[in-house]
């Protein structure tokens, strides 16, 4: 059975998880998959969250399923939960996820770092295991990303969570030359996993999500990955429906 989604793990803040997750939803839908997106825990009233990005690609989803837990405090989920005296309810997150799955949706779950705390002794990787999803790691393309990617990979693999590849974002933003240009090849060598996309930094992506989606559609390795994934999803759903 094909898992009912993919979990997007970031190596740091502001690496582009939210917009890349929305782009993945759009690209999967172009391949015939009823994909959607959720952010399990939203903090700080994000400038543009998963619900709003889904609207920009033409999807109307219940906010309670897209962002099941929301905090006003701009902090990690555990810190926000302490300040607002409202613990993170993993059961509520799982219930929202399963409700979408029952509706036939393939869910891109935009999470956070693997070691982001959700409660005392409970981390994002524990939620990933609870949902039973393989992961994709989103990271910056520039200097420092090898360390961040390998630490994230180590945490996930240490928890027996499958990792299918990396998406590197913001290429060229800081003009880091050879170091940045070589990072994808070196990351593949050190991790043994594919870099599925290297997304260039372009200011228009902030206002034009479809420009980002079109550019991601031209990434050959990401396209091949999504083609294979979509074929597996569609085949699995047809078998479940008896043909």
- pLDDT, tens digit (0-9, with 9 covering 90-100), for 190-208: 999 999 999 998 888 878 9
Q: What proportions of the chain, in percent to the nearest 5, are helix, strand and coil?
A: 50, 20, 35
Asked whether the predicted pLDDT for residue 180 surpasses 90, the reply is no
Question: Rounded distance, CA 204 to CA 182, Å?
Answer: 25
5, 106 Cβ separation under 8 angstroms: yes
Query: Which tokens go with 67?
Result: 């962002």
pTM of the full structure? 0.94
Q: What is the mean pLDDT of residues 110-121?
A: 96
- Evaluate if residue 72 carries a pLDDT over 70: yes
CATH number of 5-231: 3.40.50.300
Are residues 124 and 115 in contact, defined by beta-carbon separation less than 8 angstroms? yes
Determine the Cα–Cα distance for residues 12 and 58; give it in Å rounded to an integer: 28
Question: Please, where are the H alpha helices in the chain?
Answer: 17-30, 50-56, 63-66, 77-84, 90-102, 124-131, 145-158, 177-191, 209-217, 220-240
| Mean of per-residue pLDDT scores for the chain | 92
Check whether 1 has a pLDDT greater than 50. no
Whole-number pLDDT of residue 174 = 67
| Angle subtended by helix axes 90-102 and 124-131, to nearest 10 | 30
CA dist., res. 232 & res. 243, Å (int)? 14
113 pLDDT more than 90: yes
Domain ranges of the chain: 5-231
pLDDT digits (tens, 9 = 90+) for 131-150: 999 999 999 998 899 999 99
């Amino acid at each position: 059975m094909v898992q009912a989604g993919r979990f997007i793990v970031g190596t740091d803040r502001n690496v582009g998880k939210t917009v890349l997750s929305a782009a993945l939803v759009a690209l999967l839908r172009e391949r015939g998959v009823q994909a959607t997106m959720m952010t399990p825990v939203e903090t700080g009233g994000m400038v543009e969250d998963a619900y709003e990005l889904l609207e920009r690609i033409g999807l109307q989803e219940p906010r309670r399923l897209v962002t099941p837990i929301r905090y006003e405090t701009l902090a990690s989920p555990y810190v926000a939960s302490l300040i607002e005296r409202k613990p993170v309810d993993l059961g509520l997150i799982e219930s929202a996820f399963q409700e979408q799955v029952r509706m036939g949706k393939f869910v891109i779950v935009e999470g956070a770092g693997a070691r982001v705390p959700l409660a005392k002794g409970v981390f994002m990787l524990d939620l990933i295991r609870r949902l039973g999803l393989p992961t994709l790691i989103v990271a910056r393309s520039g200097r420092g990303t090898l360390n961040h990617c390998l630490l994230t990979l180590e945490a996930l693999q240490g928890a027996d969570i499958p990792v299918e590849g990396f998406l590197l974002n913001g290429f060229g933003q800081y003009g880091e030359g050879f170091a940045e240009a070589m990072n994808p090849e070196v990351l593949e060598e050190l991790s043994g996993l594919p870099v599925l996309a290297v997304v260039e930094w372009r200011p228009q992506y902030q206002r034009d999500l479809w420009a980002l989606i079109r550019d991601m559609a031209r990434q050959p390795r990401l396209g091949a990955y999504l083609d294979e994934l979509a074929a597996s999803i569609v085949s699995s759903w047809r078998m479940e429906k008896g043909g």
